[in-house]
Structure 1
Amino acid sequence: MGRITARWPITKVSVAESNAARVDVLAVEEPLEIRVSGQPLVVTMRTPGHDVALAAGFLVSEGIISRGEQFRGAIHCGGPGGGGGENTYNVLDVSLTPGVRLPGREHARSFYATSSCGVCGKASIDAVHTVSSYVLTGDATIVNAAQVAELPETLRAAQAVFDKTGGLHAAGLFDAQTGELLVLREDVGRHNAVDKVIGWALLEDRLPLRGTVLQVSGRASFELVQKAVMAGIPVLTAVSAPSSLAVQLARDSGLTLVGFLRGQTMNVYTHPHRIDNPVEPLEQRVRA
């Protein structure tokens, strides 16, 4: 798997049995500096692999681009400082199509984004509420509830690197009508995994992602909802809990947000009309 995983000697301790020396497989975490036309934009901690898609998805999430034709290409540069030394593959310089507005100061992060925080370093909290190029309120996507219930198992079964390390998040994009897994990406950062999925879609010229469901392996944070909205994804499902801000953004943006998707049960927090045979919303029963 190359630099996606690394081997490390450990001591396996067991209360019931004798200790043993073993080699464990770890998920690699390394910094990636994303530049646009030579200008530093952000440094994010990520699992190497699909770096171009990661950068493309990040630019979509930041509202810098929204169509595949706007992304001209990308190249890995040398190490930090660009002194012409060994290429560490940890610096990626992106070029956009002529005429596309380059990111300004409002997009630059004041410090690096860790693998657990995709919005760290924003100059202003107001800048987090990025305006999407796509409107979800009129998206007519309907997905079968039984099909939704199968998504976590399908996602988990496809996580090849997680099987070796136990240390990666995953994001999978599914066709809402057929349930087909279109693409899956793994990363130490949940927001990176989503950006890699969105970047794949941009490079395949699939945006906006109408008629799809984004399944994530962890909780549904504000940043993941925002990324889904920016890519035009109408349904986001998660195996764990959403945050209050994530629910508010999903409600205001027209996104169907599902949390605690486990077994045959799920909580539909916003816009339940996209899940077939939903129960009547609580607020409607209360008013009645």
Structure 2
Amino acid sequence: MFRSLIFGACLIGVITGLLLTAVQSVGVTPTLLAAEQFESSEAPAEVAHTHHNHTHGEGESADHHHDPDVWAPEEGTERWLYTALSNVLAAIGFSAIMLVVMNQLYVRGRLRLTPAHGLFVGACSYLVVFVAPAIGLPPEIPGTASPALMSRQLWWVFAVLSVAIGLGVLFLARRWKKVLAFPLLVLPYGFVPVHTGPLFENPDATVVASLMALHSDFIWISAITNLFFWLSVGLLCALILQRSYKTSQIGNEQAPA
């Protein structure tokens, strides 16, 4: 079963990672590129050495340092390939975790390996990994003024773990113990790292208005893209596990006594 889980995670990761990259190229990437155009249009003498912290739509935090000596992938095919590679590797990791969790729930009789249950687990994962952190720290476009990177990363990890445990207690605990889930679900929002000041520091009001519109669009585009990704992972995990158990059962029946 271990080999099946590893192979399944790699297969699902490649499929969903490439699908995610294709979907991102339609909405997420054009929005990021549009925001970067505003960022690069600022006065080079004043902005070339300014350090901007921002969070991309897929939950990754990135530090943009406008230094000509810093390597970055070229626009076009090279950027697409690096994006696809990072998406595939991340999808393999997420798929491996989901396969292990779903397999353990199935073994303990708490989950059936059906497409509907796979979609349900995918939806729960979407709530944990994207929605819960986004409530406190929404996805950001380049040029957004943000709290310190370390505080955002630590809060993101804590929010994901707290909400994951909370949902686990809510769905798996029995009777009155389910009540224990609610403090865990709301705990991260008591100390969200915040930035004091304007969201965009560009002095041009027209540019700020355009960036605000891009920022709003980016949140919704990221939400829809992530929902598609997690539902795909959940569905494929259920199908892969279902097939693995059927194959194993057939092999046991055909084995000589």
Q: Same fold (TM over 0.5)?
A: no
**Interval containing the TM-score (normalised by the shorter chain):** under 0.3
Which structure shows the bigger proportion of residues in helix conformation?
2
Structure number having the greater strand percentage: 1
Quick check: which has more Rg, 1 or 2? 2
